[in-house]
Chain A
């Protein structure tokens, strides 16, 4: 079964500090993709970063990096130099095939609410 677990319902960080949001996943597939989305209070889902299961290097996108530890099945999001605008809900998601299909549906965690304070 495919599963994403985010164990931190809420996180707080001071502006300009770095923060790590935890994500663990469970899958028996060898090929899968890991994604992080941001959902601000306005409600839209914003794609942040992607990591493929065969990628040897951790993905980075600006201030976002993904700490991928395949053996531990973890895909933590690191936000460096936090900004007030980073306050939002963050979702970890995994795209894996279902029963060998090529659908690649997204499995979501329950999210982590990040609050950045000045």
Chain B
């Protein structure tokens, strides 16, 4: 099992450019999440999905869009990147229920200049 994978691992964008981050999981998890991690801030939830075809906003959704066309994939899009979106992005997945841990991908380090 590969677990949770993310592509790309690193990316540098110029302000105004767009990009898509891909997350894939092979554990048949229903729930998937996108977080961003900034220094001193812990992880903050951007968007999440509780199943194929469903998405919802998290704590910091502005400037991002997501799609979950297939159960195993969760895409995070930046339509017009801004320097404030410079961060490390983590995808995670889990089974439903409060007792299940979330499995994290390795992260994507994004720099917007």
Contact = CB atoms under 8 A, between A and B. Distances in A.
Interface of A: 4, 31-33, 35, 37, 43-45, 47, 50, 52, 91, 95-97, 102-106, 108-111
A47 B101 contact: yes
A91 B57 CA distance: 23
Given A47-B101, A52-B99, A95-B98, A108 B43 contact: yes
Contact of B101 (A31, A50, A111): A50
Contacts of B101: 35, 47, 50
Interface residues of B, number: 26
B88 A32 contact: no
Contacts of B99: 33, 50, 52, 95
A106 B98 contact: no
A110 B104 CA distance: 17
Contact of A31 (B90, B92, B98): B98
A96 B45 CA distance: 14
Closest 10 pairs (CB-CB, A-B): A45-B104, A108-B42, A47-B101, A33-B98, A108-B43, A110-B42, A104-B98, A95-B98, A33-B99, A43-B107
A106 to B, nearest CB: 6
B106 A103 contact: no
